[in-house]
């Protein structure tokens, strides 16, 4: 693609508005920026689009959103009239331009004769997943960039099962984008015309109520919550995002009486003015909440990201310091709690199964083994957990107990097929009450967990491949690792290499090969002889390489040393 021609095309188009043209005119002498914006379209991956908001083909704006929606519309139209009548559910979060992108998506769909169900205000991502199946829709669109910085927005596509788009449909959309023109081949109509034709239906509190009821069905220990509710306090922050209304409401209906929110972070604002990044993985975002907790003598803080699919927590340790727990730690705490609490009440279903991603802590396996529960490992991406849930429902072989990823995403229940910070916030609160009833804090609970199952430690880091050739650098790095596989990492021998791109597991001692049993994905998984694991995974949405270290150790000190050692070693191989 000739970036200069594409740039000229945008400047001369009658469709592009003046504000976009003005932004582009200011870039006329910035060759590198123009290349970045016009050498190609934002990549449509399995989850959709994600990029920086701005003018250009490689940016998030109403034209790239319309363009992508036209390709989705063509996919639906090719399936047939019934698919068009089933319609598409659309949700959005608090990010800048989220509402505008949602509305433009609705108008393109309507112009193609496709029914639209549009939420009347921002909603959590998991509620969209729920709404798709609740409405019997063919697909869903969610305008969000999850926990990315304020400069970003995104466009996630879901299919009729409530999971993110399956690979074959994602490829059809990507291929269609190569065939159509961003301006000439995109249909749209006015909001007035769409409403006149009855093609846009608003969704509101009636869907909220059905969703909330499903979330509340996942509660286990409401009796313990009732016992602790008079004295137990929590602080909640939505980080300016879509959890602001439903999370406090669910906690209130659970039975909690003291839910303190962070006032300045309850304000919906796509600039996220009180945090560097609206990411519940980062302690920095909890600064105001921690100051409040110190004054109120509170042990638990919960935060959810802008689209309320991820939840992070801060707890008070035995030295009266406020510390974050990792996504892995919260996940194993929830898993262990769910198993034990359901066993206490005699409600643990037959043939229960747990699902986690391959880069999530191996402590999960130890917990499942002890309680005789089947564990399934899937590729990174909650859609793979959702697909497994669907499989369980179809075969009846297993009953879904819990699914989670190390990246702060959790789900209990089958009402949604994506991670849900609303149900996670409820279960974390309930779990904290359960432990308090036993005289323990959540910090003490994780320490107790390590005593029971052994000490595990994990870390993840990202290496950004900057510049126009970032994607090419990522590709080359992976090729080099496959051509020259390391026989040791940090001085410890590699026992097996799992190459999910080639669908093979190689035993380095014997040379024997077997299949991974999972779909193709650009992931290299190194199993070391001491039981530790090192994972190389390029991001599917950004020019970043993610490195995961999962270790088992005798204690915290040994775990920290191993983690640092292996991370330094694998980092030196990919830089």
CA angle 283, 288, 290 (to 5 degrees): 65
Strands (DSSP E) found in 122-271: 139-143, 152-159, 200-203, 233-237, 258-261
**CB contact at 8 A, 97 and 116:** no
**CB contact at 8 A, 118 and 266:** no
Backbone angles phi, psi at 178, to 5 degrees: -75, -20
Query: How many whole angstroms from its chain centre is CA 241?
Result: 15
Catalytic, out of 73, 105, 129, 146: 146
Q: Using CA atoms, how far apart are residues 298 and 279, in angstroms rounded to an integer?
A: 21
H helices, E strands: number in the chain: 20, 23
Tell me the three state secondary structure of residue 341.
helix
Half-sphere exposure of 504 (CA within 13 A, CB side): 8
Q: Using CA atoms, how far apart are residues 16 and 9, in angstroms rounded to an integer?
A: 10
Find the DSSP H helices in 81-139. 81-86, 98-111, 125-135
Q: Using CA atoms, how far apart are residues 265 and 255, in angstroms rounded to an integer?
A: 23
Q: Is 475 exposed, middle or buried (0-12, 13-18, 19+ CB in 10 A)?
A: middle
Q: Using CA atoms, how far apart are residues 95 and 23, in angstroms rounded to an integer?
A: 20
Backbone angles phi, psi at 431, to 5 degrees: -60, -40
Nearest to 285 by CA among 319, 311, 318: 311
What residues form DSSP beta bridges with 494?
A: 528
What size, in residues, is the chain? 575
539 catalytic residue (yes or no): no
Q: Using CA atoms, how far apart are residues 423 and 435, in angstroms rounded to an integer?
A: 18
Task: State whether the Cα torsion 434-440-441-447 is positive or negative.
Answer: negative
Q: Using CA atoms, how far apart are residues 285 and 275, in angstroms rounded to an integer?
A: 5
The region that residue 151 occupies, defined by phi over 0 for left and psi between -120 and 50 for alpha, beta otherwise, is: alpha
Place of tokens 């597991």: 505
Backbone angles phi, psi at 159, to 5 degrees: -110, -175
Catalytic residues: 146
């Amino acid at each position: 693609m000739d970036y200069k021609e594409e740039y000229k095309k945008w400047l001369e188009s009658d469709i592009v508005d003046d504000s976009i043209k003005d932004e582009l005119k200011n870039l006329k002498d910035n060759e590198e920026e123009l290349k970045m914006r016009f050498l190609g379209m934002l990549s449509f991956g399995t989850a959709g689009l994600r990029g920086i908001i701005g003018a250009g083909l490689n940016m998030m704006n109403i034209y790239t959103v319309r363009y992508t929606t036209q390709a989705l519309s063509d996919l639906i139209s090719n399936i047939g009239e019934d698919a068009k009548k089933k319609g598409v559910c659309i949700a959005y979060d608090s990010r800048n331009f989220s509402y505008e992108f949602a509305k433009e998506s609705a108008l393109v769909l309507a112009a193609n004769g496709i029914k639209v169900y549009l939420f009347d205000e921002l909603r959590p991502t998991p509620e969209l997943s729920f709404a798709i199946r609740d409405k019997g829709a063919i697909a869903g669109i969610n305008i969000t960039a999850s926990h990315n910085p304020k400069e970003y927005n995104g466009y996630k596509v879901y299919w009729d099962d409530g999971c993110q788009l399956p690979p074959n449909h994602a490829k059809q959309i990507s291929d269609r984008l190569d065939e159509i023109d961003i301006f000439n081949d995109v249909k749209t109509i006015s909001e007035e015309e769409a409403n006149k034709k009855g093609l846009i239906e608003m969704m509101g509190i009636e869907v909220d109520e059905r969703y909330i009821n499903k979330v509340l069905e996942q509660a286990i220990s409401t009796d313990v919550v009732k016992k602790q509710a008079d004295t137990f306090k929590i602080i909640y922050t939505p980080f300016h995002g879509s959890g602001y209304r439903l999370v406090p409401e669910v906690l209130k209906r659970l039975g909690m009486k003291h839910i303190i929110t962070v006032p300045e972070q309850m304000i919906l604002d796509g600039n996220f003015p009180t945090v560097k990044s609206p990411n519940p993985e980062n302690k920095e975002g909890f600064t105001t909440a921690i100051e409040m907790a110190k004054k109120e003598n509170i042990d638990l803080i919960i935060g959810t990201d802008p689209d309320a699919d991820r939840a992070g927590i801060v707890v008070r340790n035995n030295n009266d310091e406020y510390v974050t727990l990792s996504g892995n730690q919260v996940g194993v705490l929830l898993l262990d709690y769910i198993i034990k609490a359901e066993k206490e009440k005699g409600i643990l279903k037959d043939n229960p199964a747990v699902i986690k991603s391959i880069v999530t802590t191996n402590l999960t396996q130890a917990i499942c083994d002890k309680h005789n529960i089947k564990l399934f490992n899937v590729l990174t991406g909650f859609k793979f957990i959702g697909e497994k849930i669907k499989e369980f429902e179809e075969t009846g072989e297993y009953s879904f107990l819990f699914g989670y990823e190390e990246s702060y995403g959790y789900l209990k229940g089958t009402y949604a097929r994506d991670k849900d910070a609303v149900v996670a916030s409820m279960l974390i609160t309930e779990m904290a009450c359960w432990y308090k009833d036993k005289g323990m804090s959540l910090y003490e609970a994780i320490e107790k967990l390590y005593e029971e199952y052994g000490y595990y430690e994990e870390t993840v880091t990202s290496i950004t491949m900057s510049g126009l050739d970032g994607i090419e650098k990522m590709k080359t790095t992976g090729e080099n690792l496959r051509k020259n596989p390391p026989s040791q990492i940090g001085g410890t021998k590699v026992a097996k290499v799992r190459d999910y791109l080639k669908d093979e597991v190689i035993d380095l001692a014997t040379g024997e090969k077997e299949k991974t049993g999972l779909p193709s994905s650009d992931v290299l998984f190194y199993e070391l002889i001491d039981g530790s694991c090192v994972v190389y995974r390029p991001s599917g949405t950004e020019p970043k390489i993610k490195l995961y270290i999962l270790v088992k150790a005798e204690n915290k000190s040994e775990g920290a040393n191993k983690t640092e050692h292996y991370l330094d070693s694998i980092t030196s191989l990919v830089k």
